[in-house]
Chains A and B, each alone.
Chain A
Amino acid sequence: MTDPHRTPPGLPLASLPDTDLDALLRSAPGPAPEDFADRVLQRLGAQPQAALSPPAAPQAGPRWRHLAERAALVGAAALGVGQVLAFIFGLWAATATA
């Protein structure tokens, strides 16, 4: 791999061979600031623990939603039972009049 420092000084970047461009892309642009880790730790210390602790497992849904689902289930069941009873009553009424 060619060292980008050693390419001809006057050669425009667009004219660099692929290998040199690759080398330039790989070369580190510069280290992180020396105090970076300290600043991260400061922010860790400054923020409330709740903000940095893992979030609680998501709940399946709000409470009202559970209640609505149960009410819908009970209502549908009652409607179904009513339909069956109406059918039986209809049969009984038909046979009774005959």
Chain B
Amino acid sequence: MRPDTLLHHARQGDRQAFGQLVRLHQDGVFGFLWRMGLRRAVIDELAQEAFLRAWAHLDRYDPARAAFSTWLLAICRHLALNELGRAGHRLEQPADDEDPAAADDAGSPPEALQHKRRQQQLHAALARLPAAQRSVLALAYLRELPLADVARIEGISEDAVKQRLHRARLALRAALENPP
């Protein structure tokens, strides 16, 4: 079934159709939340919350204004920023991710291990960036999301997105060069 058909059915209360939408978008949501520097358990919880909110507010979604994925990412971003803003969630949050695939490291080829280690380093560096910079990086590197959509989600102009992205890249470099 096509995504717009799924959406149409979901808006009429078809939970199975919504389940298909979840499957279509879940990897993007997880990828975004991971790039926000959040831990796996938090990512899972926030991703669920995002889809529950999307279901609850499907009647507010206007396909003429944005793609469903853009609307969903805006919900995710809101939840992630709230999470990061809560007391106890330090910027220097350790990336002690309980990666379920970590147990398979022993049997992984060296290249895959190298890639995984680099992802962990990257995750730790992302977690040290200010939330606004993480957000713009997470959106910009998510499946080549168009700049216009990043700007719409961030609520700023495309030029401002470019500037923020440039600063975020510099900050990421600095975080990688100076690990905690």
Using a CB–CB cutoff of 8 Å, the interface residues on chain A facing chain B are: 4-6, 9, 13-14, 18, 21-22, 24-33, 36-41, 43-45, 47, 51-54
In-complex Cβ contact of A5 among B44, B114, B122 (8 A): B114
In-complex Cβ contact of B101 among A5, A13, A30 (8 A): A30
Between A and B, 6 residue pairs with Cβ closer than 8 Å are A25-B137, A32-B29, A36-B26, A41-B22, A44-B52, A51-B56
Chain B, interface size category, equals: 35 or more
- Given A5-B115, A32-B30, A40-B22; A13-B121 close (CB under 8 Å): yes
B19 contacts A by Cβ under 8 Å: yes
Closest to A26 in B: B141
- For residue B89, give the distance in angstroms from its CB to the closest CB of chain A: 19
In-complex Cβ contact of A29 among B18, B57, B119, B172 (8 A): B119
Does B52 contact A40, Cβ atoms closer than 8 Å?
yes
B55 contacts A by Cβ under 8 Å: yes
Using a CB–CB cutoff of 8 Å, the interface residues on chain B facing chain A are: 15-16, 18-19, 22-23, 26-27, 29-31, 34-35, 44, 47-48, 51-52, 55-60, 99-101, 110-112, 114-115, 118-119, 121-123, 125, 137, 141, 144, 169, 172-173, 176-177
Does A54 contact B56, Cβ atoms closer than 8 Å?
yes
Does A29 contact B60, Cβ atoms closer than 8 Å?
no
- Given A14-B173, A40-B22, A41-B22; A32-B47 close (CB under 8 Å): yes
Closest to B177 in A: A14
Does A36 contact B44, Cβ atoms closer than 8 Å?
yes
- For residue B40, give the distance in angstroms from its CB to the closest CB of chain A: 9
Does A54 contact B57, Cβ atoms closer than 8 Å?
yes
Does B35 contact A27, Cβ atoms closer than 8 Å?
no
- For residue B65, give the distance in angstroms from its CB to the closest CB of chain A: 17
Does B111 contact A27, Cβ atoms closer than 8 Å?
no
- For residue B100, give the distance in angstroms from its CB to the closest CB of chain A: 8
- For residue A48, give the distance in angstroms from its CB to the closest CB of chain B: 12
Residues in A whose Cβ lies below 8 Å from that of B101? 30
Does B115 contact A45, Cβ atoms closer than 8 Å?
no
Closest to B176 in A: A14
Does B59 contact A54, Cβ atoms closer than 8 Å?
yes
In-complex Cβ contact of B55 among A14, A39, A44 (8 A): A44
